[in-house]
């Protein structure tokens, strides 16, 4: 991993691809974690995380969120996501290991992580931006994926623009979103009819009280 020839030595000898969308700062680090490590982390997280089935009210009707979720982090930072307020569970060793690894690249200290478990192609996340006010202006979001590969799409928040960008996020891939990205772009994990393996995604965040 870190002994690969680096195209960007200033970024900690880890190769990345800059995703070139206007008003964004998106860096993609394919296979940031090697596949054996990532397989182990997937199994570990599947077992140890306190996965929840959450519900959101749409027109007065409770609907299951199409994925399992969990929220871990420093004590005292609660978080509201799609109308659900979550209190964080305490960091596990596995989560801290990943957190420390990406903090050296992202140059921030993350204090929380939202976890998503996509069981199959019927699970996904609809178009949204990670722009909740507790994330502050221009949030840094560190996203690490494990297990099955899924499509991750960006589309402009400006309805007069039609720009879209698709990426595949696979086992051990790291995606770092910074700057104006959340103000100008939506993202989603579309549901798919294709057969896909279960996938776990972690989005590390900095929450301001
Ligand atoms: O699963 C992913 O890659 C994205 C998850 C996401 O966008 C979120 O939790 O806000
Ligand atoms: Fe998101």
Determine the pLDDT at residue 16: 96
CB atoms inside a 10 Å sphere around CB 20: 8
Contacts 24+ apart (CB under 8 A), 64-69: 66/122, 66/123, 66/124, 66/125, 66/191, 67/116, 67/117, 67/118, 67/119, 67/123, 67/124, 67/125, 68/116, 68/117, 68/119, 69/114, 69/115, 69/116, 69/117
Would you say 183 and 157 are in contact if contact means Cβ atoms under 8 Å apart? yes
Ligand 1 pocket, 125 CB below 6 A?
yes
Determine the pLDDT at residue 1: 44
Closest-lying ligand 1 atom to the alpha carbon of residue 187: 7
CB atoms inside a 10 Å sphere around CB 69: 19
User: Which CATH number goes with the domain that contains 140?
Assistant: 2.60.120.590
Ligand 1 pocket, 86 CB below 6 A?
no
Would you say 74 and 113 are in contact if contact means Cβ atoms under 8 Å apart? no
Number of domains in the chain: 1
For ligand 1, atom 10: residue with the closest CA:
130
- Is there a domain that residue 165 lies in? yes
CB atoms inside a 10 Å sphere around CB 29: 20
- Is there a domain that residue 1 lies in? no
Element (H, E) at 112: strand 112-118
- Is there a domain that residue 4 lies in? no
- Is there a domain that residue 2 lies in? no
The ranges of the chain with pLDDT < 70 are 1-13, 81-83
Please list the residues that pair with 174 across neighbouring strands: 29, 144
Determine the pLDDT at residue 2: 45
Distance separating alpha carbons of residues 188 and 121, to the nearest angstrom: 13
Q: Which residues form the domain of 180?
A: 9-205
């Amino acid at each position: 991993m870190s002994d690969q020839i680096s195209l960007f030595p200033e970024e900690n000898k880890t190769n990345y691809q800059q995703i070139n969308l206007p008003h964004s700062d998106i860096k993609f680090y394919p296979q940031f974690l090697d596949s054996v490590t990532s397989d182990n982390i997937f199994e570990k997280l599947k077992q140890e995380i306190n996965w929840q089935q959450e519900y959101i009210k749409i027109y007065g009707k409770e609907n299951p969120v199409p994925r399992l979720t969990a929220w871990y982090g420093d004590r005292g930072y609660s978080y509201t996501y799609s109308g659900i307020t979550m209190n964080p569970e305490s960091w596990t060793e596995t989560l801290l290991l990943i957190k420390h690894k990406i903090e050296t690249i992202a140059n921030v200290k993350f204090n929380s992580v939202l976890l998503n478990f996509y069981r199959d192609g019927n699970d996904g996340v609809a178009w949204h931006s990670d722009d909740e006010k507790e994330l502050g202006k221009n949030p840094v979001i560190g996203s690490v994926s494990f297990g099955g590969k899924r499509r991750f799409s960006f589309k402009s928040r400006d309805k007069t623009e039609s720009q879209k960008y698709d990426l595949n996020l696979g086992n051990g891939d790291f995606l770092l979103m910074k700057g104006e990205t959340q103000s100008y772009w939506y993202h989603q994990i579309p549901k798919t009819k294709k057969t896909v393996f279960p996938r776990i995604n972690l989005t590390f965040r900095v929450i301001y009280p």
